[in-house]
Structure 1
């Protein structure tokens, strides 16, 4: 009946360990606040070192019991344990040195500083045991981690290609990265808590203090999976509730691998899993919206001149040289005014001439903008006769022709444009044309109608 006392007292170690830290730090602070020849705080300092040493004894005993009953290996705790004893012994030594003296012994502040160093290093080793050696390193930027000598790519979880993932080795590319990210900090060759090492397949097969954790073909009978789906409040739930929890997709991938047999030879495509389950782990390469070409920023004087002429002109973001130019306050802009934009030809990526006096002739000038990405010609006299000129704008992606006279046949001049993705033709002859047609870009006609609702006919 009384056998539960020792394991229970061991579990109090994370609480008891803070007592000597707080008490000893209080005494050390008083040491450094005391000036030479002053002994105002001497009695308090004696008590702090005495009680701190006694709390250190309790903490060391509880720590040793936790090691014995919680599955920690001696290799993982020995330095922390011995440094804890050294910290406790140093506290008693400093108490003995003070004795009943009326003043501080020689070099007492230096000795107190050494005790601070012992406290910090002992606490650091304890943190490594409970949270893993990289606990303080993981939040740092990748560059800083590398500077400190840590490998940044090891514990980042699965990374799968969008194409060809079916041929990947399931364990190597999915299961082990999940274990590295979520379990390895506590279950590795150096710190195999519960006598369990999850840093390799061979170690995984050896199981832990409760035996095997993998039963190939039966996920529910495998502790590797079963503990993941226990309620967080359950003490057997893994990972512990104060640590990063696995995503539902990660848990499903573990389950599917075990159901497949739990072997290293299995291919990812052999498992009964959906692409939606894999999607969060697929590497996505998003092409930048604006051109990747390097252009020099527009001179401040030139930018100021554009604004003076009536244009709204700003860079698309703080780190970019690409310009957004609009005639929102320059409605009288006409074809002949194009010369005012020539100095910014290379930098203009977004041009809005909506509501201006331009005609089809302006397209001959616009084709001289090599980096133009968005062009808005809404509510202008554009008829569409010269749309083919925009084939000379290789980076054009979005074209707005709303409320113009553009027709559906004229839009065929833009067919097979290298980058054109969307053309907007709301309230134009093209939007009213029901003859259809297939284009290499998405044609947005508008004219959308919501289905009628029963409430639309209710008379209030």
Structure 2
């Protein structure tokens, strides 16, 4: 029958918590107003610390009961509760010290300052629990937040999957994210500019101080839409000119949604939204061109040593441990010089040996490179002997064999590769064979050149 009493007392915590703060701050102010050797405010100070300690104890109990009955996680309140109990103990300790005499004890102002720090930390953690960690900072201008080192997580617009974008909910997955990205900063429950909340469907339907902003089925009479299409310098244009402006696709989607009835339920397919409006918001899983590895970036002195040996060398991407190496300035490179690169073979992702003096023997050295993605052997003495060894490279995508001695049979020996995308064989025996071989069935594209353009009637006109 009386089981409600403890939960009810717990719910009084947000009210009770202000009592110790007010009483103790009042007592601490009197402490700092007091002069050495004087006891003008002594009785008031002593009473303030006693009542403040009692209020802090009562508040701590109510807070613990709120935690017990309201479903808060211990991790979220533990430090707040510990500091609250510590504040209570320090308040009673200071009151006890005041009871031992009729003047302020030595260093009492310093001890009172410690209590101020405890009150501040306890209150801050309590505010984080009830209002969120960004309660004090989220209202600050973005530039000031960045200056203070606060990480700003920008609102994201619609993000749809390529596979089933048609089944996405039009309002919750498209329209609301657009409003969040462009309108939420001014029109949210904590910052009700114009008494308008655009973060929920209920807020949209309720409108603001100037009336309704949404007229279902009629975009031209819905201020949500009409203000967006006003000239940017118009006084009523929304969002304000200095804020992010919605794209033409976003505005068109809002118009289509309103014209379709401004419903909270329904998919893009049901609303007959064309793909061209959704295209900018379809997320595609882009596969990185080069392998993703944990190899750390190459030390500057090691990279410098490679360059000093005659190679052009740099990271394939900023911060990557993989290398792009070229012999463009080292035409004398030959098979025996491989030892100069052997120490970096696990890093090599792009290797250009074009125009060097390498032969088929170099293929034995290239066979054990785990991250090689692009290999250029143009204008070399490569005949194609043992070329099939390159099919064992797990990440090789592009192989350039232009102006070498490779033939079609050797190219076909590469079909066991799981990674090849293109093989270039301009000006090789293979190129001539391909042009006479008819349609080839290979798991990769072979670029052989010898392309001809169809003749046009205008080609025979003499001017």
TM over 0.5, yes or no? yes
Partner of 2:65: none
Partner of 2:127: none
C-alpha contact (below 8 Å) 1:260/1:266 kept by paired residues: no
SS in 1 for 2:313: strand
Matched, 1:269 2:282: no
Instruction: Say which is worse superposed, 159-168 or 258-267, in terms of deviation.
Output: 159-168
SS in 1 for 2:254: helix
Matched, 1:355 2:358: no
Displacement after TM superposition at 1:206 (Å): 1.3
Give the 3 Å change call, closer, same or farther, for CA 140–164 of structure 1 in structure 2.
farther
Displacement after TM superposition at 1:368 (Å): 1.3
Partner of 2:443: 440
Partner of 1:211: 211
Displacement after TM superposition at 1:201 (Å): 0.4
Partner of 2:177: 177
Partner of 1:380: 380
Displacement after TM superposition at 1:254 (Å): 1.0
Distance across 2 between alignment mates of 1:252 and 1:199: 19
Displacement after TM superposition at 1:348 (Å): 1.6
SS in 1 for 2:220: coil
Displacement after TM superposition at 1:359 (Å): 2.4
User: What's the CA shift string for 1:155-186, capped at 9, x where partnerless?
Assistant: 22222223322222221111111111211223
User: What's the CA shift string for 1:200-241, capped at 9, x where partnerless?
Assistant: 100101123443322333333332223222333443332233
Distance across 1 between alignment mates of 2:395 and 2:285: 19
Runs of 5+ unmatched residues, structure 2: 1-136
Displacement after TM superposition at 1:377 (Å): 0.3
C-alpha contact (below 8 Å) 1:302/1:343 kept by paired residues: no
Give the 3 Å change call, closer, same or farther, for CA 391–202 of structure 1 in structure 2.
same
Distance across 2 between alignment mates of 1:359 and 1:318: 33
- Number of matched residues? 324
C-alpha contact (below 8 Å) 1:407/1:429 kept by paired residues: yes
C-alpha contact (below 8 Å) 2:316/2:322 kept by paired residues: yes
Displacement after TM superposition at 1:365 (Å): 1.5
Matched, 1:223 2:228: no
Map 1:68-217; keep pairs closer than 5 Å.
134=139, 136-137=141-142, 144-146=149-151, 152=153, 155-217=155-217
Give the 3 Å change call, closer, same or farther, for CA 445–141 of structure 1 in structure 2.
farther
Runs of 5+ unmatched residues, structure 1: 1-131
SS in 2 for 1:145: coil
Matched, 1:395 2:395: yes
C-alpha contact (below 8 Å) 1:379/1:403 kept by paired residues: yes
The normalised TM-score by structure 2 is 0.61
Displacement after TM superposition at 1:141 (Å): 5.9
Distance across 2 between alignment mates of 1:162 and 1:143: 39
User: What's the CA shift string for 1:251-283, capped at 9, x where partnerless?
Assistant: 111122223321111113323223332232233
Partner of 2:291: 291
C-alpha contact (below 8 Å) 2:295/2:320 kept by paired residues: no
CA RMSD after TM alignment: 3.2
Instruction: Say which is worse superposed, 229-238 or 373-382, in terms of deviation.
Output: 229-238
Displacement after TM superposition at 1:430 (Å): 3.3
Distance across 2 between alignment mates of 1:245 and 1:400: 47
Displacement after TM superposition at 1:449 (Å): 5.2
Displacement after TM superposition at 1:246 (Å): 0.9
Displacement after TM superposition at 1:356 (Å): 1.8
